[in-house]
Amino acid sequence: MTASIPQPPKRIQLDFDVSTEDQAQVLSAAWQEIVSGRRTRINTAAEDINEIMECARTALQKIVQAIEENPGTGQTGRLVRFLAGGMSATDHAQLRARRTGRALHDARSGGSLYEN
C-alpha cells in the first residue's frame, strides 16, 4: 500500500495596477477581507446605505408635508423635476405612463393634473 503525499493547496497570484496609494490601500483591505472570509467593509457599506435611505425618507416626508401645507406654489413640479433627474429611462417611461393615466382620469373627473 502506497500512501499518497498530500499536495499543497493551489496558489493563484494576481497583480493589480492602481493609480494612487489610497486605491492600493482600499484594494489591499478589500482583498484581506475576501481571503479571510470576513466581509466587514461590505456589511458596513450596506449599513451606510440603509442610514442614507432613512435620512432621505425623512427629508422627503418633510418636503411632501411642506408641499401639502402650501398648495399652489409650484413646489410639486419642482419636486417632480428633481426626482426625475435621478431616474433611469425605464423610470421615466413609467412616470410618463402614470402621468398620462392620471391626466386622463382628471380630465374625465373635471380635475387637473397640476396644482392650482
The ranges assigned to domains in the chain are: 19-69, 71-116
Q: Tell me, yes or no, if the pTM score tops 0.75.
A: no
pLDDT at 114 over 60: no
What pLDDT sits at residue 113?
47
CA Rg value for the chain? 27
Q: Tens digit of pLDDT for each residue in 10-47?
A: 888 888 898 999 999 888 888 888 888 777 776 777 77
* Angle, alpha carbons 60-66-70 (nearest 5°): 145
| Euclidean distance between CA atoms 24 and 29, whole angstroms | 9
